[in-house]
Structure 1
Amino acid sequence: MDRREFVRLLGMAAAAGLPISRASETQAATDGFYTLPRFGNVHLLHFTDCHAQLLPIHFREPSVNIGIGSAAGKLPHLVGEHLLKAAGIRPGTRDAHAFTYLNFEQAARRFGKVGGFAHLATLVKRMKASRPGALLLDGGDTWQGSGTALWTQGQDMIDACKLLGVDVMTMHWEFTYGAKRVQDVIAKDFKGRVDVVAQNVATTDFGDPVFPPYVIKEMNGVPVAIIGQAFPYTPIANPRYFVSEWTFGIQDARMQQMVDEARGKGAKVVVVLSHNGMDVDLKMASRVRGIDAILGGHTHDGVPKAVPVRNAGGTTLVTNAGSNGKFLGVLDFDVKDGRIRDFRYRLLPVFSNLLPADRAMAEFIASVRKPYLKQLDEPLAVTEGLLYRRGNFNGSFDQLICDAMMEARGAQIAFSPGFRWGTTLLPGDTIRMEHVLDQTAITYPYATLSDMSGEMIKAVLEDVAGNLFDPDPYFQQGGDMVRVGGLTYTLRPNQQQGSRIHDMRLGGQLIDATKTYKVAGWAPVSEAARDAGGPPIWDLVAGWLRDKKRVSPRVLNQPRIEGLGPNPGLAA
């Protein structure tokens, strides 16, 4: 290798997030960290909810993930030390940093960034090399979450996934590019390469399947069925006009039919590639017979071990592989005489300073980002505090968005959607335009300003709280609690619908049900709001940041929680 080639490779590695000065040190560490001996003869690799993050990032896991009813105190509703204890992970380790929020800033500076498709590609290739015939499954929310994904209608991620070697995929946020865009990609980009499966999406007129419900692939002599489960509440959580001619839903009965049909066609292993969310997957696993494993997504839960669920037909393993490209799930089955004898499951964190950047993927990432670097790299302000989004209530980046909306629009109150995606910045980092887009890049970004009565404000909060804290997961239809600026309130998660929100105040004064308040928001799902054409939220936030230059640590406007008692999903 000559000097020019050496310098070029160093530049690629640096662009993809590999700290060059620590290359020899990290190479020694990775030899043990990613050693995963082959087991069995059926091998499934799984990532989900990467939200278009091509480069390594920081991503803080939640300190609030409340389980209600039978879900309280169980995975995935464990945070911090409770999660470490349940998973048998030692505090202070790389795994502890990957799976929890504990000592986040210190651990992030020590262990470096996570994810990045160039590093994920290296890990995928290693796992496939040791596991002949292994399939790579993409759980969806892949084409959305960055500026480049928005500006290319997901094309950067579509091409990256082909290069990564994705075999089977299901969807959620992909639908927000519109039905035609999804169908065009399947017909042109994915044809003969990636199978998109979803048993629960049909046409509104005659109920015809929109996608193949499953695919059967033979691996080392074993027929393996992958059944798709797209996000069942897409037309509720996102604008219906994007998919107006399609219906969704959980569709337990049809899932059972598809499992039985796949078994009837000879499948010896049946796996569901799901975007239900983990609580829904756990309930589905208890109701549908014959599923060997559910590889889940949507709720961004990085769950270190598979959860076994008993049902009338036996046991189903339920997993969830986190988000933002920071994990790769590896599920191995040992299949003999037509039945599963044993399994192994690991959820591997993707540490960018332990995995060298894959050359082809690094070159692709550099090329696809190059036309947009000027916009992405614009410095807006410096943050003095940690900025993150994750958890049932306000994260500090959510709070920043709410604060920006109230100040820029002269609003008394701000509502921001309970989205789970969005990268994390450490104190002292420069907030660039790319980071704002990581929090806001959607196809319905309109900022709104509305007059709302106190009665309506309570109704909105009650509706979202009912969605999040209904004890029946089949009625949990979207993200986390709406993020709030200005307004304070008390939340009683265990109460019935309509009785969870109390003591709403503005500036210390009780909200008057008959009084009108000026409320700022963004990401409306109605066609009327779309047609009104408010400014995109990223312009509003970016302008606010440019004026500030430096942003002090955000004071989180968290609700007061009552009636839970000690809860391992709620950090003390």
Structure 2
Amino acid sequence: MFKRLNLLLLLIFFAVEILSAQNVKKIYLFFTNDLHARIGHQKARFLNPNFPPSLGGGASATTIIKSFKAKAQQSGDIVLLFDSGDFLSRTSDLVKNSGGRAMIEYMNKMGYLAAVPGVEDFQVAGQRWDDLAGLAAFPLLACNVKRESDNPFKPYAIIDQNGLKIGVFGVLSQTVQYIDESEQIEGYQFLPELPAARKTVQKLKQEDCDLIIALAHLGLPYDAEEDYQLLKEQDRQNLKKTSFLTSMELAHYVDGIDVLLSGRMHRGYDQPWEDPLTHTLCFQNYARGSNLGAVVLHYDAVHQAIIKYEYLSEKSAMLLLTEDEFWPDPEMAHFIDSLQSVYHADPDSVLGYTLNALVRSSQGESPFNNLMCDAMLEATGADFAFNSYNSLRQNIPIGPITRLDIVDALPFANQLVVVKITGKMLKDLMERSVVGNFMGVAIGGGKVVYDPRKPNGRRIVEVTIGGKPLNPQKMYRVATSSYLAQGNGGMTPLSFLDDQFFEYTTLSVRDAVMQYIKRHSPLKIIEDGRWVRK
């Protein structure tokens, strides 16, 4: 009797397990953020500066996604691909020469199902969104962006796949309203993120969506634990933000989001951050196309919940797109090559060669610091040049220099500006660059000697320009970046000058560097004693 009862219970258990397994659907969720038009082959110098492995970009990502789409056709699983903003770039020839259309064509080919525009996307596309939205085979989502005339952005989209109703909405940072390119956002209104997101999630619930996914161009923080402790302290003091949120804050304040795919911060998360209260799973990739975000969600259709998730790699929700592991899909590789050819945007084209490593430095002079300022001088014919050390973001080893090398090294699209100032003001600016623990600026066209042991304001002990001592009364033409010319980086006096003292070129600092390399290759940039610390 007991044996029969045990057998019956065992059969019932297995039957329940089988039925439960039938109700669980696998969702292969792929995601990108902050691509900045990096879709082609590139070298991973962040892994090994001297012998960087090759990354296959969109072609390697296609290899991965295609394989799971083929499996899904057989198994009935679901495959999703989304982007969380900043897929365009101010520094990309592919974007500049195509008006952004090349990236939309690429995303169509990849099979993106939705994307949220990012802050830089607005800086680039601005008044061309109607054209880009019309070209896109997927919706551009932004629930907190309004426009009086026809809005190219939808607040949300609903995707029906394999019996699941998946609601997706987009939200971007309200900081976009403060971009310098104000003409690009004319006619748009950017609403506070929190009420717009809550309203949209409520609508998706009313639509009986099984799963709700947020595409949030708000950014997960660099240190999740530290920022969450601050968030808990805000809760304790009953301080509630409604705008200028991070992705962490959105996940914390808005109940009902199952998965949040974040963009804007270039900090990848190997494991998702899960809000302890709302249990929203938050993912974020690294930037510039080096990785593909990938996670497998197990969704229980009966209980309408994600019961577990797993990775396609051993320990991370991000796949590093090395060509050794994910051989580029030939069809997509050819498509990307054709886009770069049509729009004259080959990032691997060689500008010239360097006979010594172009090393940057955050103090004094270095080969790359000197090259940058010499290029600024040559492009403008100025008497003197200076720029922030932070303008340079990576070194370039001995050998060929490609366009992509320079774009990576100088990622900012700061305009090259000439400002007419007196020798007295120039010396004051140099003094400001060595206040406290600051180590100065990169310079060209002269020599600066400073003594950090002296008090602030009296540390610059010698300045020569063109081999002659600085004349305090003389007017000098000084080349710098638009960022510093606006008074940033401690150069406050420049912000008070009238427009008549500025000459705006049509070049960026990066353009000037590229031109210099072409003219003077092969390069052998030396340290010539232009910046001296006593």
Fold match (TM-score > 0.5)? yes
TM-score by length of 1: 0.63
SS at match of 1:195: coil
Residue identity in the other structure for 1:158? I
Find the counterpart in structure 2 of residue 23 from structure 1.
Answer: none
- C-alpha change, 1:226 and 1:437, in structure 2 (3 Å) is same
CA distance in 2, matches of 1:485, 1:386: 14
Find the counterpart in structure 2 of residue 140 from structure 1.
Answer: 85
Counterpart of 1:364 (choices 335, 360, 366) is: 335
SS at match of 1:202: strand
Find the counterpart in structure 2 of residue 162 from structure 1.
Answer: 108
Find the counterpart in structure 2 of residue 496 from structure 1.
Answer: none
Alignment of 1:361-440 (within 5 A): 361-371=332-342, 372=344, 377-382=349-354, 384-385=356-357, 401=372, 404-405=375-376, 409-415=382-388, 426-437=396-407
CA shift digits 1:263-309 (9 cap, x unpaired): 12112221111221223112222222222222111221122111112
SS at match of 2:43: coil
- C-alpha change, 1:257 and 1:165, in structure 2 (3 Å) is same
SS at match of 1:310: coil
Deviating more after overlay: 172-181 vs 194-203: 172-181
Find the counterpart in structure 1 of residue 205 from structure 2.
Answer: 263
- C-alpha change, 1:388 and 1:289, in structure 2 (3 Å) is farther
Relative contact order (alpha carbons < 8 A, sep ≥ 6): 1 or 2 greater?
A: 1
The answer to whether the Cα contact below 8 Å between 1:143 and 1:157 also exists between their aligned partners in 2 is: yes
Find the counterpart in structure 1 of residue 489 from structure 2.
Answer: none
Counterpart of 2:34 (choices 42, 49, 71) is: 49
SS at match of 1:369: helix
Find the counterpart in structure 1 of residue 274 from structure 2.
Answer: 308
- C-alpha change, 1:328 and 1:239, in structure 2 (3 Å) is same
Following superposition, the deviation at residue 176 of structure 1 comes to: 2.8
Find the counterpart in structure 1 of residue 195 from structure 2.
Answer: 253
CA distance in 2, matches of 1:209, 1:370: 32
CA distance in 2, matches of 1:137, 1:374: 26
Following superposition, the deviation at residue 160 of structure 1 comes to: 1.5
- C-alpha change, 1:231 and 1:383, in structure 2 (3 Å) is farther
Find the counterpart in structure 2 of residue 185 from structure 1.
Answer: 132
CA distance in 1, matches of 2:506, 2:480: 12
CA shift digits 1:109-134 (9 cap, x unpaired): 4xx12242222211221233344331
The answer to whether the Cα contact below 8 Å between 1:40 and 1:332 also exists between their aligned partners in 2 is: no
Find the counterpart in structure 1 of residue 480 from structure 2.
Answer: 520
CA distance in 1, matches of 2:219, 2:370: 25
SS at match of 1:305: coil
CA distance in 2, matches of 1:48, 1:413: 34
CA shift digits 1:375-428 (9 cap, x unpaired): 972523326336799x9xx999788646643675444532488798xxx67512
- In the alignment, is residue 113 of structure 1 matched against residue 49 of structure 2? no
Counterpart of 1:213 (choices 126, 132, 155) is: 155
SS at match of 2:55: coil
Following superposition, the deviation at residue 238 of structure 1 comes to: 4.3
CA shift digits 1:74-113 (9 cap, x unpaired): xxxxxxxxxxxxxxxxxxxxxxx4xxxxxx325x44xx12
Deviating more after overlay: 178-187 vs 379-388: 379-388
CA distance in 1, matches of 2:42, 2:347: 18
CA distance in 2, matches of 1:340, 1:185: 34
- C-alpha change, 1:368 and 1:396, in structure 2 (3 Å) is farther
- In the alignment, is residue 152 of structure 1 matched against residue 98 of structure 2? yes
CA distance in 1, matches of 2:527, 2:273: 36
CA distance in 2, matches of 1:249, 1:488: 51
The answer to whether the Cα contact below 8 Å between 1:146 and 1:441 also exists between their aligned partners in 2 is: no
- C-alpha change, 1:47 and 1:375, in structure 2 (3 Å) is closer
SS at match of 1:175: helix
Following superposition, the deviation at residue 227 of structure 1 comes to: 1.2
Following superposition, the deviation at residue 339 of structure 1 comes to: 1.9
- C-alpha change, 1:350 and 1:251, in structure 2 (3 Å) is same
The answer to whether the Cα contact below 8 Å between 2:219 and 2:262 also exists between their aligned partners in 1 is: yes
SS at match of 2:279: strand
Residue identity in the other structure for 1:200? N
- In the alignment, is residue 485 of structure 1 matched against residue 442 of structure 2? yes
The answer to whether the Cα contact below 8 Å between 2:84 and 2:115 also exists between their aligned partners in 1 is: yes
The answer to whether the Cα contact below 8 Å between 1:321 and 1:327 also exists between their aligned partners in 2 is: yes
The answer to whether the Cα contact below 8 Å between 1:41 and 1:220 also exists between their aligned partners in 2 is: no
- C-alpha change, 1:224 and 1:365, in structure 2 (3 Å) is same
Find the counterpart in structure 1 of residue 293 from structure 2.
Answer: 329
Find the counterpart in structure 2 of residue 200 from structure 1.
Answer: 144
Residue identity in the other structure for 1:176? Q
The answer to whether the Cα contact below 8 Å between 1:380 and 1:433 also exists between their aligned partners in 2 is: no
Following superposition, the deviation at residue 247 of structure 1 comes to: 2.6
Deviating more after overlay: 148-157 vs 396-405: 396-405
Following superposition, the deviation at residue 262 of structure 1 comes to: 1.0
Counterpart of 1:550 (choices 507, 511, 523) is: 523
The answer to whether the Cα contact below 8 Å between 1:406 and 1:413 also exists between their aligned partners in 2 is: no
The answer to whether the Cα contact below 8 Å between 2:56 and 2:326 also exists between their aligned partners in 1 is: no
Residue identity in the other structure for 2:260? I
CA shift digits 1:440-475 (9 cap, x unpaired): 688x763112358699979x99xxxxxxxxxxxxxx
Following superposition, the deviation at residue 210 of structure 1 comes to: 5.2
Counterpart of 1:541 (choices 509, 513, 533) is: 513
Aligned residues: 423
SS at match of 2:280: strand
Counterpart of 1:243 (choices 163, 185, 189) is: 185
CA shift digits 1:21-73 (9 cap, x unpaired): xxxxxxxxxxxxxxxxxx95233210122221232212455xxxxxxxxxxxx
- In the alignment, is residue 223 of structure 1 matched against residue 165 of structure 2? yes
CA distance in 2, matches of 1:266, 1:396: 61
- C-alpha change, 1:347 and 1:506, in structure 2 (3 Å) is farther
- C-alpha change, 1:256 and 1:282, in structure 2 (3 Å) is same
- In the alignment, is residue 272 of structure 1 matched against residue 272 of structure 2? no
Residue identity in the other structure for 1:194? F
CA distance in 1, matches of 2:220, 2:385: 36
The answer to whether the Cα contact below 8 Å between 2:33 and 2:86 also exists between their aligned partners in 1 is: yes
Deviating more after overlay: 301-310 vs 233-242: 233-242
Following superposition, the deviation at residue 151 of structure 1 comes to: 1.2
CA distance in 1, matches of 2:366, 2:176: 24
Computed over aligned residues only, the root mean square deviation of the Cα atoms, in angstroms, reads 4.4
Following superposition, the deviation at residue 349 of structure 1 comes to: 0.8
- C-alpha change, 1:126 and 1:387, in structure 2 (3 Å) is farther
CA distance in 1, matches of 2:142, 2:310: 26
Find the counterpart in structure 1 of residue 122 from structure 2.
Answer: 175
Find the counterpart in structure 1 of residue 418 from structure 2.
Answer: 449
CA distance in 2, matches of 1:155, 1:309: 37
Of all paired residues, the percent bearing the same amino acid is 20
